[in-house]
Amino acid sequence: MKRNQINRLKLLSQNRPRDEQVTVWKPRTALGQMVIENKISSMEQIYENGMRIQESEIVKHLLPDIKSQVVHVGIVQKQTDAGEMTRFSALVAVGNEAGWFGIGMGKASQMRIAIDKATINSYLHIIPVKLGCGSWECRCTQLHSIPFNVRGRGGSVKVEILPGPRGLGLVAGENIKNLLKLAGIKDAWTKSFGSTNTMTSTAMAIFNALNSTYITG
C-alpha cells in the first residue's frame, strides 16, 4: 500500500465521529459498575485510589469531551510460506485538553482495526497531567502550562518541557505540539534530542515527561 493511501485512511479515521456506534455500555469490571452507579464520578477518584482501568468505556464516560488523534501508522511485512503477510501498527494519542493524556499502540491485519486497538489501549493508559504556571516571567495562577521542568525518554529520543509565560504558545515541532495540546498545555518551551521523526519514541518520551508532573510533584 502506497504512503498516500495510508495518509488518506489516517485522515478518514481522524475525522470519524468517536461515537458513531450507539451501544449500551454493560460494565464487565467492578470499577465499571461503580462508575455506572455513580459511586465513582471522576477520573481523579480513580487515580487517587490507585484503581486500574480495564474498560475504555470508563474513560469515555467520565471524560465525554476526550479527543483522539492518530499519531502514526506503519506497515510491517513478513514473508511466510503462504506468501507475504502485511500487518499494520498504529499509534494513537488521546486527551481532553484539560489535564488528561494517554497513548496506545495496536497491531492488526487491517488498518482500521489497528487504529481501534490503539485507541482502546490509549484509554487504558491515560494519565493525569499537572497543569499550572511555573514560568518566572508570568507567575499567574492560571492552568496554561506546567508547574516545573519535566523530562522524558522514549527509545533514543529525549524531550524536556519547560513552563512558558501566558501567550507564548507552544515552542515545539508540529508533532510534539499536537500531543501537548491534547494534554491541555497551551504555553511551553520544549527541547528534544535524538531522532524525533520516530514518532513512537517521541510520543513515549512526551508521555513519560508528562507523567512525571505528578511523580515528581
C-alpha cell of residue 144? 496554561
* Residue 148 CA: distances (Å) to CA of 9, 126, 129, 130, 151: 38, 21, 12, 10, 10
Say whether both 159 and 119 belong to one domain: no
CB-based contacts of 65: which residues, under 8 Å, 6+ apart? 96, 97, 98
Say whether both 97 and 7 belong to one domain: yes
pTM: 0.86
Torsions phi, psi for 44 (to 5 deg): -60, -40
Residue 136 domain flag: no
Residue 143 domain flag: no
Residue 132 domain flag: no
CATH code of the domain covering residue 35: 3.30.160.20
Say whether both 106 and 23 belong to one domain: yes
Say whether both 123 and 154 belong to one domain: no
Number of domains in the chain: 2
Which range marks the domain in which residue 207 is found?
A: 150-215
Say whether both 12 and 102 belong to one domain: yes
Whether the Cβ atoms of residue 103 and residue 114 lie closer than 8 Å to each other: no
C-alpha cell of residue 154? 522514549
Say whether both 77 and 163 belong to one domain: no
- Distance of alpha carbon 101 from alpha carbon 183, whole angstroms: 5
- Cβ burial of 5 (10 Å; 0-12, 13-18, 19+) is exposed
- Distance of alpha carbon 42 from alpha carbon 25, whole angstroms: 17
Nearest to 123 by CA among 68, 74, 177: 68
Per DSSP, the residues of 7-28 read HHHHHHHHHS-TT-S-------
Say whether both 109 and 167 belong to one domain: no
Last residue of a domain, one of 94, 112, 127: 127
pLDDT tens, N- to C-terminus, the chain (217 residues):
445 555 555 554 554 444 445 578 999 999 999 999 999 999 999 999 999 999 999 999 999 999 999 999 999 887 777 778 889 999 999 999 999 999 999 999 999 999 999 999 999 999 999 999 999 999 899 999 999 999 999 999 999 999 999 999 999 999 999 999 999 999 999 999 998 788 999 999 999 999 999 875 5
Say whether both 116 and 167 belong to one domain: no
pLDDT of residue 8: 52
CB-based contacts of 146: which residues, under 8 Å, 6+ apart? 129, 130, 131, 132, 134, 161, 163, 185, 188, 213
pLDDT of residue 7: 55
pLDDT of residue 18: 47
Say whether both 192 and 118 belong to one domain: no
C-alpha cell of residue 151? 523530562
